[in-house]
C-alpha cells in the first residue's frame, strides 16, 4: 500500500507564534486570558485541515472535558476576528475553520466521494476575476471559489473514504 499523502508535520514554532499573536489580540481588545481559551487555541492550531466545531470540541475535551460548545464557538469567533483563522462553508451545513498558515489566500476543490479538500492558488485566476469585476464597475473585497467533483485517482480516493468510515465508526 503506497503512502497516500505525507502528513504535514506541525511546525511548533509557528504554532507558538500564533498563540502569541492571539494573546496580543486579546490584550489589545482588553479581554482576559483564560485557561479555556488557551486550551482551545492550542488545540486548534495543532490540528490541520478544515476543522468543524464538533471536531474541535472533541479534541478540546481530551485536554479539558468541562469545556462546552459555547466557549468553543465564542473562541472561534475571536480567532476569526483576530484574522488568524478563516471560516469556510462547503455546503454541508457546518462551518469549518482553518488557520490560514499555508498561503495567504487559496481556493478549494472538494471531492464528493472521499471528502478530501484540495487547496490551490492561481494568480491568473485571481487576476481574471479582478478584470471581470472591473468590467462590471465592481470592487472585490473577497471571493470564494469552490470546485465540487471527484478525485480521478480512484484508488487513493476510496482508500481515504474507507479510512474515514473507520474513523467515524470509532
Partner DNA sequence: GTGGAATACGAAAACAGTTTTCAAAATCGG
Partner DNA sequence: CCGATTTTGAAAACTGTTTTCGTATTCCAC
Q: Which of 122, 78, 101, 91 is nearest to 15 (CA)?
A: 101
- For residue 167, the minimal CB distance to a copy of itself (Å) is 23
Q: What does 2 bind: Zn ion, DNA, Mn ion, none (CB cut-off 5 to 8 Å by kind)?
A: none
Q: Which of 15, 17, 19, 36 binds DNA (CB under 7 A)?
A: 36
Residues 70-109 that bind a copy of itself (CB under 8 A): 89, 91, 109
Query: How far is residue 158's CA from residue 113's CA, in Å, rounded to a whole number?
Result: 8
User: Taking phi first (over 0 means left), then psi (-120 to 50 degrees means alpha), and beta for anything else, what does residue 157 get?
Assistant: alpha
Does residue 30 interact with DNA by CB under 7 A?
yes
Residues 125-154 that bind a copy of itself (CB under 8 A): 125, 128-129, 132-133, 136-153
Does residue 33 interact with DNA by CB under 7 A?
yes
- For residue 5, the minimal CB distance to a copy of itself (Å) is 12
Q: Which of 18, 45, 50, 71 binds DNA (CB under 7 A)?
A: 71
The residue (of 69 and 121) whose beta carbon lies closer to DNA is 69
The DSSP call for residue 71 is H
Task: State how far the alpha carbon of 79 is from the alpha carbons of 14, 45, 130, in Å.
Answer: 16, 11, 28
The grid cell for 86 is: 478563516
Q: Which of 51, 76, 111, 114 binds a copy of itself (CB under 8 A)?
A: 111
Task: Report, in angstroms and rounded to the nearest whole number, the Rg of the chain calculated over CA atoms.
Answer: 18
Task: State how far the alpha carbon of 159 is from the alpha carbons of 150, 154, 169, in Å.
Answer: 13, 8, 16
The grid cell for 6 is: 505525507
Chain residues that interact with a copy of itself, rule: CB under 8 A: 89, 91, 109, 111-112, 118, 120, 122, 124-125, 128-129, 132-133, 136-153
Chain residues that interact with DNA, rule: CB under 7 A: 26, 30-37, 52-53, 64, 66-71, 73-75, 77, 93-95
Amino acid at each position: 500500500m503506497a503512502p497516500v499523502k505525507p502528513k504535514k508535520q506541525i511546525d511548533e514554532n509557528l504554532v507558538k507564534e500564533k498563540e502569541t499573536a492571539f494573546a496580543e489580540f486579546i490584550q489589545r481588545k482588553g479581554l482576559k486570558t483564560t485557561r479555556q481559551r488557551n486550551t482551545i487555541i492550542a488545540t486548534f492550531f495543532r490540528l490541520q485541515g478544515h476543522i468543524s466545531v464538533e471536531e474541535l470540541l472533541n479534541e478540546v475535551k481530551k485536554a479539558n472535558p468541562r469545556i462546552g460548545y459555547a466557549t468553543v464557538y465564542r473562541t472561534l469567533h475571536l480567532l476569526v476576528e483576530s484574522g488568524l483563522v478563516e471560516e469556510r462553508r462547503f455546503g454541508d451545513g457546518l462551518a469549518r475553520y482553518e488557520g490560514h498558515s499555508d498561503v495567504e489566500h487559496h481556493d478549494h476543490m472538494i471531492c464528493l466521494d472521499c471528502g478530501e479538500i484540495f487547496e490551490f492558488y492561481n494568480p491568473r485566476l485571481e487576476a481574471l476575476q479582478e478584470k471581470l469585476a472591473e468590467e462590471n464597475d465592481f470592487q472585490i473585497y473577497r471571493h470564494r471559489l469552490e470546485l465540487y467533483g471527484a478525485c480521478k485517482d480512484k484508488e487513493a480516493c476510496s482508500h481515504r473514504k474507507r479510512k474515514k468510515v473507520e474513523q467515524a465508526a470509532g
